[in-house]
Amino acid sequence: MEKKKIDEYEPGPLPSPRPLDRFGFVKQEVNNSPHGLTKGKSAYEFEREERRVRKWRKMIGVGGSEWKHYVQRNPRVVKRCIRKGVPDCLRGLVWQLISGSRDILLMNPGVYE
């Protein structure tokens, strides 16, 4: 078989003509009109995200220690927070806590490594 030579000037994959978000979805067009989207996150959006992370950490506790108690005491609050969105930095842990896989993982050390 003959090996195909790769031309060093061969163009690579073209970048997407429209910008994508971190999940691969096409972002909406950015414009500077009062009713349009603005570039980047504002200080208010950063603060709101930080408050949301602090609330989630309070609900979860250290390593998920408070989760079951909080869910039993405040199920409506937990439901509302989930609908608003789980912060990216806590999404994996929250998924484990909601599904119950965290308990199975802790009861069987070394099995799921």
pLDDT in tens, 40-52: 678 888 888 888 8
Nearest to 56 by CA among 75, 73, 78, 41: 78
Provide the token pair at 19: 């910008």
The pLDDT value recorded for residue 5 is: 55
Q: Tens-of-pLDDT digits for all 113 residues of the chain?
A: 555 555 555 554 555 567 777 667 777 765 554 544 445 678 888 888 888 889 899 888 887 888 888 989 999 998 998 898 888 888 888 888 888 888 888 888 888 77
pLDDT of residue 3: 56
Residue 68: CA count within 13 A, CB half-sphere: 6
At 92, the amino acid letter reads G
